[in-house]
């Protein structure tokens, strides 16, 4: 059976076409996961449980960056294999362990000082455990992408998302018990992880992690600015949710997440464009084809603009009726908020792309500067925005923060590309 699964995941007639299709499907499934769960949960368990799951998913998504430690894009673009997969795997074992410990400590803090109930404590921690499986699978998928088979990684990831999300929804619908259903979700996730990702990874790499002190130190120094940048990025994006969790009800949290889903989908769907080209961008840059590099960057900027404009048009016209129907609640008073967060979603897509390019050209240390500044602004602004303006304040804060990040990283990217190009051309002349 294991061999049959491996052969099925690797089978393709055209690797390039398969990569784009499955990466798009995987990105779409990932974008839809929490939304689909919330649709079922709102109807089966009510808006309150949907609000609890929403903040649990937000916290787990933040902790996911601890597990990934910002190294996926670096690993995928490491075409000269500066580090072995065993080194990346060893680092991931450590970071995933830190993720689980950090998640538990956070949940205990919320139980003691933020008024979390036992049920909310369990749900937040269990969703973090589920995300830790994704964090470890990511290093296996990174190796497949590095080897030119992102399609295999996307198939494994998509199969996990679809099967596990389906099992969670069925459990919710049959039992109406949030804790039991979430435990079932975690168990199925672990099972599919071994049957798909771990199973097929055996054909691409050794599954034994290596804990070489020198390599781990180097990866830590490389990863720490990336990790802090992505961690702070997720914090900035979720700052309105944390403010709502602190100062408003679980029901309001659910409503915010209902209108936030389409904006988040813009960023995730844009990723299906970025991920297949990551290795090719790294190769273009390494080969010093600067004109080509600028051209492909401009093309992706225009693609994101197009996706964002389409999203805004849908939000302004049929967005609210569709969301109200999907989630089974009346959202007619949140049309303005939906348009604002959709604009913020487009800005987040730009942030993701610009930071990817900055990582490829190996100036990732500069990412931390922008994220730290905007995270500080989010920390101080979230409370007054949400307390004084409610949902409108949360939506506006999200769009403003994402816009500032996009502008900052666009400027950094342009300066770094021009500086490196001049330096390389000067060295070539000498």
pLDDT digits (tens, 9 = 90+) for 112-161: 988 899 999 999 999 999 999 999 999 999 999 888 888 899 999 999 99
Mean per-residue pLDDT, 210-230 = 88
Least confident piece of the model among 59-68, 138-147, 220-229: 220-229
Q: Which residue from 54, 88, 83, 86 is spatially nearest to 68, judged by alpha carbons?
A: 88
State residue 274's pLDDT score.
Answer: 63
Q: Which residue from 342, 148, 152, 165 is spatially nearest to 260, judged by alpha carbons?
A: 342
Q: Using the predicted structure, report yes or no on whether residue 383 has a pLDDT greater than 90.
A: no
State residue 23's pLDDT score.
Answer: 84
Q: Using the predicted structure, report yes or no on whether residue 272 has a pLDDT greater than 70.
A: no
250 or 141, higher pLDDT: 141
From CA 386, how far away is CA 364, in angstroms rounded? 32
Q: Using the predicted structure, report yes or no on whether residue 335 has a pLDDT greater than 80.
A: yes
Mean per-residue pLDDT, 337-355 = 89
φ/ψ of 97, rounded to 5, equals -65, -40
CA Rg value for the chain? 21
* Two structure tokens written together for 373: 């500044």
From CA 341, how far away is CA 117, in angstroms rounded? 30
Mean per-residue pLDDT, 70-88 = 85
Q: How confident is the model at residue 28 (pLDDT cuts 50, 70, 90)?
A: confident
Q: Which residue from 351, 427, 297, 360 is spatially nearest to 72, judged by alpha carbons?
A: 360
CB distance 73 to 223 below 8 Å: no
State residue 264's pLDDT score.
Answer: 66
- Contacts of the segment 322-325: beta carbons below 8 A, 24+ positions apart: 323/258, 323/259, 323/261, 323/262
Q: How confident is the model at residue 79 (pLDDT cuts 50, 70, 90)?
A: confident
* Two structure tokens written together for 290: 């600067």
From CA 257, how far away is CA 341, in angstroms rounded? 10
* Two structure tokens written together for 343: 């604009």
State residue 183's pLDDT score.
Answer: 97
Compute CA distances 367 → 21, 41, 177, 363, whole Å. Answer: 30, 37, 42, 8
Measured torsion, CA atoms of residues 211, 213, 219, 222, in degrees rounded to the nearest 10: 160
Q: How confident is the model at residue 281 (pLDDT cuts 50, 70, 90)?
A: confident
* CA angle (333 as vertex; 339, 317 as ends), nearest 5: 45
Q: Using the predicted structure, report yes or no on whether residue 273 has a pLDDT greater than 70.
A: no
Name the range with the highest mean pLDDT among 11-25, 114-128, 278-292: 114-128
From CA 223, how far away is CA 220, in angstroms rounded? 5
From CA 136, how far away is CA 68, in angstroms rounded? 7
Mean pLDDT of the chain: 87
Mean per-residue pLDDT, 369-396 = 87
Q: Using the predicted structure, report yes or no on whether residue 363 has a pLDDT greater than 70.
A: yes
Mean per-residue pLDDT, 42-64 = 91
From CA 69, how far away is CA 72, in angstroms rounded? 8
Return the sign of the alpha-carbon dihedral for residues 72, 76, 81, 86: positive
Q: How confident is the model at residue 106 (pLDDT cuts 50, 70, 90)?
A: very high
* Two structure tokens written together for 394: 């949360």
State residue 267's pLDDT score.
Answer: 61
CB distance 132 to 100 below 8 Å: yes
Q: Provide the H-helix boundaries in 114-206.
A: 118-146, 150-175, 178-193, 199-201
Q: How confident is the model at residue 360 (pLDDT cuts 50, 70, 90)?
A: confident
CB distance 2 to 138 below 8 Å: no
Q: Using the predicted structure, report yes or no on whether residue 166 has a pLDDT greater than 70.
A: yes
From CA 155, how far away is CA 70, in angstroms rounded? 22
* Two structure tokens written together for 27: 């990105």
Q: Using the predicted structure, report yes or no on whether residue 365 has a pLDDT greater than 80.
A: no
Place of tokens 């089974």: 328
Residue 291: CB atoms within 10 Å = 8
- Assessment of whether the complete model's pTM goes beyond 0.75: yes
CB distance 53 to 178 below 8 Å: yes
From CA 271, how far away is CA 231, in angstroms rounded? 18
State residue 268's pLDDT score.
Answer: 62
15 or 190, higher pLDDT: 190
Q: Using the predicted structure, report yes or no on whether residue 275 has a pLDDT greater than 80.
A: no
* CA angle (130 as vertex; 126, 136 as ends), nearest 5: 140
Q: Using the predicted structure, report yes or no on whether residue 388 has a pLDDT greater than 70.
A: yes
Mean per-residue pLDDT, 280-287 = 80
Mean per-residue pLDDT, 361-388 = 85
State residue 206's pLDDT score.
Answer: 81
Q: Which residue from 405, 7, 50 is spatially nearest to 232, judged by alpha carbons?
A: 405
From CA 365, how far away is CA 359, in angstroms rounded? 9
State residue 277's pLDDT score.
Answer: 65
Mean per-residue pLDDT, 264-286 = 69
Q: Which residues contact 98 (CB under 8 A, 6 or more apart)?
A: 66, 67
Q: What percent of the chain clears pLDDT 90, i.e. is strictly above it?
A: 36
State residue 410's pLDDT score.
Answer: 94
From CA 77, how far away is CA 72, in angstroms rounded? 9
From CA 256, how far away is CA 254, in angstroms rounded? 5
């Amino acid at each position: 059976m294991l061999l049959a699964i491996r052969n099925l995941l690797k089978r393709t007639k055209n690797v390039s076409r398969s990569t784009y299709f499955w990466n798009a499907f995987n990105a779409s499934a990932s974008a839809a996961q929490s939304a689909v769960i919330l649709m079922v949960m709102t109807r089966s368990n009510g808006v309150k449980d949907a609000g609890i799951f929403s903040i649990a998913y937000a916290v787990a998504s933040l902790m996911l960056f601890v597990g990934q430690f910002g190294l996926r894009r670096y690993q995928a673009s490491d075409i000269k294999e500066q580090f072995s997969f065993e080194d990346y795997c060893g680092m991931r074992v450590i970071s995933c362990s830190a993720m689980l410990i950090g998640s538990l400590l956070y949940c205990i803090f919320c139980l003691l000082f933020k008024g979390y109930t036992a049920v909310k404590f369990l749900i937040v921690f269990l969703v973090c455990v589920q995300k830790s499986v994704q964090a470890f699978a990511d290093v296996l998928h990174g190796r497949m992408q590095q080897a030119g088979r992102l399609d295999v990684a996307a198939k494994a990831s998509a199969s996990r998302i679809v099967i596990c999300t389906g099992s969670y929804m069925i459990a919710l619908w049959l039992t109406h018990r949030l804790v039991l259903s979430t435990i079932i979700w975690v168990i199925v996730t672990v099972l599919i992880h071994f049957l798909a990702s771990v199973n097929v990874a055996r054909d691409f790499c050794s599954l034994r992690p290596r804990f070489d002190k020198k390599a781990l130190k180097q990866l830590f120094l490389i990863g720490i600015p990336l990790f802090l940048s992505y961690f702070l990025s997720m914090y900035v994006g979720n700052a309105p949710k944390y403010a709502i969790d602190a100062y408003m009800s679980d029901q309001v949290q659910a409503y915010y997440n209902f209108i936030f889903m389409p904006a988040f989908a813009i960023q995730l769907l844009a990723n299906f464009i970025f991920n297949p080209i990551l290795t090719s961008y790294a190769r273009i840059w390494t080969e010093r084809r600067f004109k080509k590099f600028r051209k492909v960057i401009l093309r992706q900027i225009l693609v994101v603009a197009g996706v964002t404009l389409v999203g805004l048009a849908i939000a302004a016209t049929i967005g609210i009726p569709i969301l109200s129907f999907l989630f089974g609640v009346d959202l007619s008073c949140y049309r303005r908020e939906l348009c604002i967060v959709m604009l913020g979603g487009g800005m987040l897509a730009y942030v993701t792309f610009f930071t990817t390019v900055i990582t490829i050209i190996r100036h990732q240390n500069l990412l931390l500067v922008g994220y730290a500044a905007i995270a500080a602004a989010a920390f101080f602004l979230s409370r007054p925005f949400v307390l004084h303006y409610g949902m409108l304040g949360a939506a506006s804060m999200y769009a403003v923060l994402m816009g500032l990040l996009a502008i900052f990283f666009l400027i950094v990217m342009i300066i770094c590309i021009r500086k490196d190009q001049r330096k390389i051309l000067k060295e070539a002349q000498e």
